[in-house]
Amino acid sequence: MATSVRKLAELLGGESRGNVDSFIADGQSIEKATPSDIVFVGDEAYLAKLKEANAGAVLLNAELAALADQDVCPAHIIVDDPQGAFIQLLEHFRPQRAPAHSGISADAHVRPSARFGDDTVVYPGAYIGDNVVTGKNCTVHHGVSIGAGCQLGNDVALYPGVALYPEVIIGDRVIIHASAVVGADGFGYRFVDGRHEKIPHFGSVQIGNDVEIGASATIDRGMIGDTLIGDGTKIDNLVIVAHNCEIGRHNAIAAQVGFAGSSTSGDYVVCGGQAGIADHVNIGARCMLAASTSAHKDTIAGETYAGIPAERIKDAMKSIMSQKKIPELRRTVRDLKEQVARLTSRLEALSETDDGQTRSAA
């Protein structure tokens, strides 16, 4: 629904400038904005892009507004947190659909011993096992399977196809996206009499409060104790956290990262896409692993690492720069080999001449 810039500023508690009576119908990125869209600018780097944009209005803070040309956009809204305000406006322009179901669907398979908190919704086709307990305001979508003895806190959302193996414990305000698997056995075997013999896994998984787990991610159960995911940690799609891992609080783990068995991380760790952590390795608090980094030994808290194997970022950049010089080095070596060959040939010719002169004198 189109809304004037003046009304949007009132909604946000911000200050409007410029063409405040123009109407805005949606929020959009700077690159794709039209005159009916509003955009946001969070730093100086985007002020230059704003000059080339076609947006009808822009959200920015007072500091950036002082730097921006007033005619760079038809209307400005000054707020303390432009990105937060932009999200608020997206919620205004794009209201979410109301839930399709309420209560516990008769078409869900629910064991009689399961217990649900107030305002919990279970969609058709879900399976709820024996002695499952949920908190208040949980949402269990189509095709979710919750194994016996699982415990869910308040405001948990399980999207279609999520599988919780038995005895998984989940905190409050946890979101688990489609087809994620929590509590499967770890990849543990003994080699006995020429074959792989499965090691049973008697632990489970405990997930803290305010955790989000992406689509098709896998969190394996522990063999003896539990696999742990700390409060506030965000796990992207296609991540694997293997058995016995202990992930700290407020980690940010990008897609296709792998934590091997019994590896651990401190608080506020960041892992770029496809980073790999070897078994029994500890990633120190506030460490950052660049994309595709392979950590094969413990890392120092607060450091940034990159490369295969992982090195501190300064050392890794030196290695990368050295690798870029390899073609030039090969050419240099080839030229030197040719020069050595020519010099060797000339020395051999001089040696033969000297030998000939010696024989003639004799």
Task: Say which residue the tokens 């997930």 belong to.
Answer: 207
The distance of Cα 190 from the centroid of its chain, to the nearest Å, equals 33
Of 78, 44, 88, which Cα lies nearest the Cα of 58? 78
- Is 243 an annotated catalytic residue? yes
- Please pick, among 76, 142, 243, 250, the residue that the annotation labels catalytic: 243
Task: Say which residue the tokens 């803290």 belong to.
Answer: 208
Task: Say which residue the tokens 């956290």 belong to.
Answer: 241
Residues taking part in catalysis: 243
